Amino acid sequence: MEPRAGRHSGLAAPDPRWQAAFYFVVFQWPRDLNYTLIMLAKRTTTRLLTLALIGSAALLGACRSKQMVITSDPPGATVTLNDVEIGRTPTTASFTHYGVYDVLLTLDEHEPLRTEARASAPVYDWPPFDLITSPIPGETTIRWHFTMQPSLESTLTPEQLEAGLLGRARDLRGQIDEPK
Protein backbone atom coordinates (compact mmCIF):
# COMPACT_ATOMS: atom_id res chain seq x y z
CA MET A 1 0.00 0.00 0.00
CA GLU A 2 1.33 3.36 -0.90
CA PRO A 3 1.44 6.17 1.57
CA ARG A 4 -1.01 8.90 1.08
CA ALA A 5 0.00 12.38 0.33
CA GLY A 6 0.69 14.40 3.42
CA ARG A 7 0.89 11.38 5.61
CA HIS A 8 4.01 9.80 7.09
CA SER A 9 5.04 6.29 6.29
CA GLY A 10 4.85 5.35 9.94
CA LEU A 11 8.29 6.71 10.94
CA ALA A 12 8.67 9.93 12.79
CA ALA A 13 10.57 12.69 11.09
CA PRO A 14 14.12 12.83 12.44
CA ASP A 15 14.80 15.70 14.82
CA PRO A 16 17.94 17.63 13.72
CA ARG A 17 19.23 17.74 17.34
CA TRP A 18 19.01 13.96 17.65
CA GLN A 19 20.60 13.61 14.27
CA ALA A 20 23.70 15.49 15.45
CA ALA A 21 23.88 13.46 18.68
CA PHE A 22 23.48 10.20 16.76
CA TYR A 23 26.23 11.23 14.33
CA PHE A 24 28.58 12.06 17.23
CA VAL A 25 27.92 8.77 19.10
CA VAL A 26 28.20 6.57 16.02
CA PHE A 27 30.95 8.23 14.03
CA GLN A 28 32.86 10.89 15.98
CA TRP A 29 33.02 9.47 19.54
CA PRO A 30 34.79 6.18 18.65
CA ARG A 31 37.51 8.14 16.83
CA ASP A 32 37.94 10.49 19.80
CA LEU A 33 37.94 7.53 22.19
CA ASN A 34 40.55 5.71 20.11
CA TYR A 35 42.68 8.83 19.99
CA THR A 36 42.30 9.30 23.75
CA LEU A 37 43.17 5.67 24.46
CA ILE A 38 46.17 5.78 22.15
CA MET A 39 47.46 8.98 23.75
CA LEU A 40 46.90 7.51 27.23
CA ALA A 41 48.84 4.38 26.24
CA LYS A 42 51.67 6.50 24.82
CA ARG A 43 51.86 8.60 27.97
CA THR A 44 51.77 5.50 30.18
CA THR A 45 54.47 3.81 28.09
CA THR A 46 56.61 6.94 28.23
CA ARG A 47 56.21 7.16 32.00
CA LEU A 48 57.03 3.47 32.46
CA LEU A 49 60.12 3.76 30.24
CA THR A 50 61.26 6.84 32.15
CA LEU A 51 60.74 5.05 35.45
CA ALA A 52 62.63 1.99 34.16
CA LEU A 53 65.49 4.19 32.94
CA ILE A 54 65.76 5.99 36.28
CA GLY A 55 65.57 2.67 38.14
CA SER A 56 68.26 1.05 36.02
CA ALA A 57 70.49 4.12 36.38
CA ALA A 58 70.10 3.85 40.15
CA LEU A 59 71.03 0.18 40.03
CA LEU A 60 73.95 0.75 37.67
CA GLY A 61 75.32 3.32 40.07
CA ALA A 62 75.80 0.50 42.55
CA CYS A 63 77.88 -1.80 40.37
CA ARG A 64 79.84 -4.65 41.84
CA SER A 65 83.35 -3.63 42.89
CA LYS A 66 86.36 -5.91 42.36
CA GLN A 67 89.32 -5.86 44.72
CA MET A 68 92.41 -7.95 45.27
CA VAL A 69 94.05 -8.31 48.66
CA ILE A 70 97.78 -9.12 48.48
CA THR A 71 99.70 -10.33 51.53
CA SER A 72 103.22 -11.67 51.96
CA ASP A 73 105.35 -13.44 54.48
CA PRO A 74 107.18 -11.36 55.73
CA PRO A 75 104.92 -8.29 55.37
CA GLY A 76 106.18 -4.99 53.97
CA ALA A 77 107.19 -6.17 50.48
CA THR A 78 106.73 -3.74 47.59
CA VAL A 79 104.10 -5.12 45.17
CA THR A 80 104.20 -4.45 41.42
CA LEU A 81 101.31 -5.69 39.24
CA ASN A 82 101.84 -5.63 35.46
CA ASP A 83 104.72 -3.14 35.87
CA VAL A 84 102.63 -0.76 38.03
CA GLU A 85 103.64 -0.35 41.66
CA ILE A 86 100.64 -0.93 43.93
CA GLY A 87 102.05 -0.50 47.43
CA ARG A 88 103.46 -2.49 50.34
CA THR A 89 101.94 -5.70 51.68
CA PRO A 90 99.37 -6.12 53.04
CA THR A 91 97.69 -4.04 50.35
CA THR A 92 94.37 -3.80 48.56
CA ALA A 93 93.96 -2.81 44.91
CA SER A 94 90.92 -2.40 42.66
CA PHE A 95 90.90 -4.18 39.33
CA THR A 96 88.68 -4.28 36.26
CA HIS A 97 89.46 -7.50 34.40
CA TYR A 98 89.89 -11.08 35.50
CA GLY A 99 92.86 -12.98 34.13
CA VAL A 100 96.59 -13.50 34.68
CA TYR A 101 98.68 -10.77 36.31
CA ASP A 102 102.48 -10.43 36.42
CA VAL A 103 103.46 -10.00 40.07
CA LEU A 104 106.80 -8.77 41.43
CA LEU A 105 107.50 -8.58 45.16
CA THR A 106 110.70 -7.00 46.46
CA LEU A 107 111.94 -6.64 50.02
CA ASP A 108 115.36 -5.87 51.49
CA GLU A 109 117.35 -8.97 52.49
CA HIS A 110 114.95 -11.23 50.52
CA GLU A 111 115.09 -12.66 47.02
CA PRO A 112 112.83 -10.80 44.59
CA LEU A 113 109.77 -12.90 43.80
CA ARG A 114 108.59 -12.68 40.18
CA THR A 115 105.55 -14.82 39.37
CA GLU A 116 102.15 -14.88 37.70
CA ALA A 117 98.88 -14.93 39.62
CA ARG A 118 95.42 -15.63 38.24
CA ALA A 119 92.32 -13.65 39.18
CA SER A 120 89.52 -16.11 38.37
CA ALA A 121 85.95 -14.92 37.91
CA PRO A 122 83.37 -16.33 40.34
CA VAL A 123 80.35 -18.13 38.86
CA TYR A 124 78.09 -15.08 39.18
CA ASP A 125 80.47 -13.13 36.90
CA TRP A 126 80.35 -15.72 34.09
CA PRO A 127 78.28 -14.89 31.01
CA PRO A 128 75.22 -14.81 30.88
CA PHE A 129 74.82 -14.64 34.69
CA ASP A 130 76.85 -11.41 34.80
CA LEU A 131 74.05 -9.56 32.96
CA ILE A 132 71.78 -10.21 35.91
CA THR A 133 74.25 -9.86 38.78
CA SER A 134 76.40 -6.92 37.64
CA PRO A 135 73.89 -4.20 38.65
CA ILE A 136 73.46 -5.76 42.10
CA PRO A 137 75.67 -3.99 44.65
CA GLY A 138 78.41 -6.08 46.18
CA GLU A 139 82.11 -6.74 46.28
CA THR A 140 84.28 -9.45 44.76
CA THR A 141 87.58 -10.02 46.58
CA ILE A 142 90.53 -12.01 45.22
CA ARG A 143 93.14 -12.97 47.84
CA TRP A 144 96.78 -13.72 47.05
CA HIS A 145 99.48 -14.67 49.57
CA PHE A 146 103.16 -14.96 48.70
CA THR A 147 106.06 -16.36 50.76
CA MET A 148 109.42 -14.76 50.12
CA GLN A 149 112.80 -16.47 50.60
CA PRO A 150 115.66 -14.76 52.47
CA SER A 151 118.58 -13.83 50.26
CA LEU A 152 121.90 -15.64 50.64
CA GLU A 153 123.57 -12.40 51.69
CA SER A 154 121.33 -12.21 54.74
CA THR A 155 121.75 -15.84 55.82
CA LEU A 156 125.47 -16.52 55.20
CA THR A 157 128.60 -14.80 56.38
CA PRO A 158 130.83 -13.13 53.78
CA GLU A 159 133.42 -15.94 54.20
CA GLN A 160 130.78 -18.61 53.48
CA LEU A 161 129.59 -16.68 50.41
CA GLU A 162 133.15 -16.37 49.08
CA ALA A 163 133.89 -20.05 49.72
CA GLY A 164 130.69 -21.06 47.93
CA LEU A 165 131.51 -18.84 44.98
CA LEU A 166 135.05 -20.24 44.68
CA GLY A 167 133.74 -23.82 44.94
CA ARG A 168 131.24 -23.24 42.13
CA ALA A 169 133.98 -21.65 39.99
CA ARG A 170 136.25 -24.71 40.48
CA ASP A 171 133.39 -27.04 39.52
CA LEU A 172 132.71 -25.08 36.34
CA ARG A 173 136.41 -25.02 35.46
CA GLY A 174 136.51 -28.79 35.82
CA GLN A 175 133.61 -29.17 33.37
CA ILE A 176 135.48 -27.32 30.63
CA ASP A 177 137.36 -29.61 28.24
CA GLU A 178 141.10 -29.08 28.22
CA PRO A 179 142.34 -27.85 24.82
CA LYS A 180 144.44 -30.47 23.00
CB 78, CB 114: distance < 8 Å = no
Q: Which of 120, 112, 114, 113 is nearest to 95 (CA)?
A: 120
The answer to whether residue 41 sits within a structural domain is yes
The residue length of the chain stands at 180
- The DSSP output letter for 94 is E
Query: What torsion do the CA atoms of 133, 137, 138, 142 make, to the nearest 10 degrees?
Result: 60
Regarding whether 76 and 48 lie in a shared domain, the answer is no
For 76, the domain range is: 65-154
Regarding whether 78 and 55 lie in a shared domain, the answer is no
Query: Strands 91-94 and 139-147, how do they pair?
Result: unpaired
User: Would you state the pLDDT for residue 51?
Assistant: 74
The answer to whether residue 8 sits within a structural domain is no
Query: What is the average per-residue pLDDT within 78-88?
Result: 96
Domain boundary at 61, 82, 111, which? 61
CA distances from 170 to 161, 162, 163, 173, 175 (A): 14, 12, 11, 5, 9
CB 81, CB 103: distance < 8 Å = yes
Regarding whether 78 and 106 lie in a shared domain, the answer is yes
Regarding whether 82 and 147 lie in a shared domain, the answer is yes
Regarding whether 119 and 95 lie in a shared domain, the answer is yes
pLDDT tens per residue, range 150-169: 988 878 888 988 898 899 89
Query: What is the average per-residue pLDDT within 42-59?
Result: 71
The whole-model pTM stands at 0.58
Regarding whether 147 and 92 lie in a shared domain, the answer is yes
pLDDT tens per residue, range 107-145: 999 999 999 999 999 998 888 888 788 778 889 999 999
Residue 154 DSSP SS3: helix
The answer to whether residue 173 sits within a structural domain is no
User: Would you state the pLDDT for residue 5?
Assistant: 52
| Domain at 75, CATH number | 2.60.40
Q: How many domains does the chain have?
A: 2
Regarding whether 42 and 89 lie in a shared domain, the answer is no
User: Would you state the pLDDT for residue 136?
Assistant: 80
- In what helix (H) or strand (E) does residue 84 lie, and over which residues does it extend? strand 84-88
The answer to whether residue 178 sits within a structural domain is no
